[in-house]
Amino acid sequence: MEEDFYKVLGVDKKASGEEIKKAYRKIALKYHPDRNPGNKEAEQTFKKAAEAYGVLGDSDKKRKYDQFGMDGLRGTESHGYSTFEDIFDAFGDIFGGGSIFEDFFGGGGARGKAARRGASLKCDIEVDFKDIAAGVEKKIELTRKEVCDVCRGTGAREGTSPVTCPYCRGRGEVQQSQGFFTLRTTCPKCHGNGKIIESPCAKCSGSGRYPKKSIISIQVPPGVEDSTRLRLTGQGEPGETGAPPGDLYCDIHVKSHPIFKRQGDDVLCEVPIPFAQAALGCTIDVPTLTGNVVQVKIPKGTQNNEVIPIRGEGFPNLHGYRKGNLLVQVIVEVPTKMTPRQEELLREFAELEKKNVSPRQKKFFEKMKEFF
According to DSSP, the residues that pair with 156 across neighbouring strands are 200
What is the structure's pLDDT at 121?
A: 92
> Alpha-carbon distance 116 to 107, whole Å?
10
- Are 250 and 235 in contact by the 8 Å Cβ rule? The answer is no
According to DSSP, the residues that pair with 272 across neighbouring strands are 331
Domain locations in the chain as residue ranges: 260-334, 340-372
H-helix or E-strand spanning residue 137 = strand 136-147
Helix spans in the chain (H): 5-9, 17-31, 40-56, 59-68, 84-90, 100-105, 275-280, 340-355, 359-371
| 3-state SS record for 57-79 | CCHHHHHHHHHHHHHHHCCCCCC
- Are 99 and 92 in contact by the 8 Å Cβ rule? The answer is yes
Please determine, for residue 196, whether its predicted confidence score (pLDDT) is greater than 70: yes
Least confident of 15-19, 70-74, 115-119, 253-257: 70-74
> Alpha-carbon distance 131 to 254, whole Å?
9
pLDDT, one tens digit per residue, over 50-70 is 888 888 988 888 888 887 777
Q: Which of 86, 93, 100 is nearest to 57 (CA)?
A: 100
Q: Look at the pTM and tell me if it is higher than 0.85.
A: no
> Alpha-carbon distance 203 to 267, whole Å?
54
> Alpha-carbon distance 370 to 363, whole Å?
11
Q: How many other C-beta atoms can be found within 10 angstroms of the C-beta atom of residue 343?
A: 12
pLDDT, one tens digit per residue, over 212-227 is 898 999 999 999 999 8
Average pLDDT, the chain: 82
What is the structure's pLDDT at 336?
A: 87
pLDDT, one tens digit per residue, over 104-135 is 444 444 444 455 788 899 999 999 999 999 89
> Alpha-carbon distance 342 to 52, whole Å?
64
Question: How many Å is the Cα radius of gyration of the chain?
Answer: 31
> Alpha-carbon distance 127 to 113, whole Å?
43
pLDDT, one tens digit per residue, over 148-190 is 888 888 889 988 989 999 989 888 888 877 666 667 788 888 8
> Alpha-carbon distance 38 to 111, whole Å?
16
> Alpha-carbon distance 100 to 343, whole Å?
73
pLDDT, one tens digit per residue, over 299-336 is 999 999 999 999 999 999 877 778 899 999 999 998 88
Q: What is the CATH number of domain 260-334?
A: 2.60.260.20
